[in-house]
Amino acid sequence: MTKILFVCHGNICRSPMAEFVMKHMVEEAGLGEDFYIASAATSSEELGNPVYPGTRQRLAREGISVAGKFAVRIRAADYEKYDYLIGMDSRNVANMLRTFGGDPDGKVCRLLDYTDSPRDIADPWYTGDFDTTYDDVCEGCVALLGVISTHNDVH
């Protein structure tokens, strides 16, 4: 089983969007049982809060529900628990490395590092642009799934 943790600052916009987009993609591909997918925050300011309305509404347009998701924070123990630790931007990655005490196994990177156009995913909390964030998340999840499928021989 491949275990993926998506991480952003508050775990209310980008990382839950990536979590539920990826869950949807693997279910659609008939691979749901081959994956454990979750998301978390690098900060504590949104802990226990539900997914931000803009993210909920954008995913609902695709028929994707985030029901039951509440913000949680990454822990050092997550490094051993997950195969892929995916930040949404460079700041998330820096904060993840601080929490994990480094990245000896090379598990930590940005989601869009798996694409042909590596870059940060802008935070829609600040931009208000949930459509662009959704498009970036989808691009990254497709690329990540492709890498995992090739690496793990997932069909």
Question: Residues 6 or more apart from 60 whose CB is under 8 A from it?
Answer: none
Q: Where are the domains of the chain?
A: 2-152
Lowest-confidence pick of 56-60, 66-70, 135-139, 150-154: 150-154
CA–CA gap between residue 123 and residue 9 (Å, rounded) = 9
The CATH topology of domain 2-152 is Rossmann fold (3.40.50)
Q: Identify the three-state secondary structure at position 10.
A: coil
Average pLDDT score over the chain: 96
Mean pLDDT computed over 23-34: 95
pLDDT per position as a tens digit, 71-119 = 999 999 999 999 999 999 999 999 999 999 999 999 999 999 999 999 9
Annotated active-site positions, please?
A: 8, 14, 123
Structure confidence by residue, pLDDT tens digits, 41-51: 999 999 999 99
- In DSSP terms, 40 is beta-bridged to 7
Which pLDDT score, from 0 to 100, does residue 80 have? 98
pLDDT: is 61 or 152 the higher one? 61
